[in-house]
Amino acid sequence: MSKLIATAALAVVLIAGAAADAEAWTRSGTWSGPRGTASVSATGSCAGGTCSRQITRTGPYGGSVTRQGSASCSGGTCTGTRTTTGPYGGTVTRQRTISRY
């Protein structure tokens, strides 16, 4: 039940924050369960046709996963890059380009 309440509270924070400022945003939340407390923290911004964000999730045992990404669109083509770093330092980078015909 506490997980459901924490999720609902996080959704309210996300919606309220989105209405406050469309160019830059910050979100965070924590929740507790039988294995401990976990958290998420996210920031993002858009400027000059490029949007970026960073999300860090920390599990109940202290391990963190960070995801950084950006996307930009021009002339019907959007390009995005995302890098994920795991709790042991390993990284995965993904890139994608989408074109509209």
Percent of the chain scoring above 90 in pLDDT:
67
Per-residue 3-state assignment (H helix, E strand, C coil) for 24-90: EEEEEEEEEECCEEEEEEEEEEEECCEEEEEEEEECCCCCEEEEEEEEEEECCEEEEEEEEECCCCC
| All structural domains of the chain with their residue ranges | 2-95
Threshold 0.85, pTM exceeds: no
Mean pLDDT for all residues in the chain = 83
- The confidence band for 13, taking pLDDT boundaries of 50, 70 and 90, is very low
